[in-house]
Amino acid sequence: MSTADKNLSVFSTAALPNISSRKFALVVAEWNEEVTEKLFEGAYNTLIQYGALPENIVRGNVPGSFELSLAAHWYAQRPEIDAVIALGVVIQGETKHNDYINHAVAQGITNASIANNKPIIFGVLTPNTMEQALDRAGGVHGNKGDEAAITAIKMVGLKEQVLS
Ligand code: RBF
């Protein structure tokens, strides 16, 4: 299903794990800040809604989405962090750089996630226009930040189930 047909704030929340002692890092790109702030709010509020404590959530800003992977890797290296959520917006219509940035971030996050054996969630919007970005950052299509937070929670739960 494409995100055009999906509300990003509607998901199954059956059997989510207890995350009251779990620690999360949110890495937020400053490029397209009006959108990434909304993604951050969605992710932060969703973590709190499902049981995370404010003192267990840290935030780091990076200049642009290209820097998300390295910063996510740094946070994932911290032993106390259980999951990292990387949030950014790369608007496809504006520059050919989008392909390079999107692929680099997707690959970088995958690599950092596996290298650190921790979930690092790809919360990067790749829309064609700013309007489509806003639609997915608390607009008509929900909030990708909410979805990224739920994904982080589910992956923390699955890791516990599989590895403990
Ligand atoms: N960063 C984003 O997060 N979103 C963008 O849409 C975006 N577009 C860019 C377009 C160009 C032409 C360049 C050079 C950079 C862009 N960046 C964007 C910034 C990029 O992620 C990174 O911060 C810089 O390239 C510095 O490494």
% of the chain exceeding 70 in pLDDT: 96
- Please check the confidence at residue 2 and state whether its pLDDT lies above 60: no
Number of domains in the chain: 1
In a domain, 29, yes or no: no
Give the CATH number, domain containing residue 69: 3.40.50.960
Instruction: Give residue 80 CA to ligand 1 midpoint distance, Å.
Output: 30
- Nearest protein Cα to ligand 1, atom 19: 64
Quick one: pLDDT at residue 4? 64
Domain that holds residue 46: 34-163
Ligand 1 atom showing the smallest separation from residue 63 Cα: 23
What's the pTM? Answer: 0.95
In a domain, 25, yes or no: no
Nearest in space to 77 (alpha carbons), one of 115, 131, 36:
115
- Please check the confidence at residue 44 and state whether its pLDDT lies above 90: yes
98 confidence band (pLDDT: 50, 70, 90) = confident
Instruction: Give residue 56 CA to ligand 1 midpoint distance, Å.
Output: 30
- Nearest protein Cα to ligand 1, atom 17: 64
- Residue 19 in contact with residue 153, Cβ under 8 Å? yes
Three-state secondary structure string covering 28-78: EECCCHHHHHHHHHHHHHHHHHCCCCHHHEEEEEECCHHHHHHHHHHHHHC
User: Which is higher by pLDDT, 94 or 69?
Assistant: 69
In a domain, 18, yes or no: no
Instruction: Give residue 60 CA to ligand 1 midpoint distance, Å.
Output: 17
In a domain, 47, yes or no: yes
pLDDT digits (tens, 9 = 90+) for 101-160: 999 999 999 999 999 999 999 999 999 999 999 999 999 999 999 999 999 999 999 999
In a domain, 19, yes or no: no
In a domain, 24, yes or no: no
Average pLDDT, the chain: 94
Q: Using a 6 Å CB cutoff, which residues line ligand 1?
A: 29, 31-32, 63-67, 88-91, 95, 97, 101
CA–CA distance from 111 to each of 57, 114, 160 (Å)?
23, 5, 21
Point out the residues that are catalytic: 97
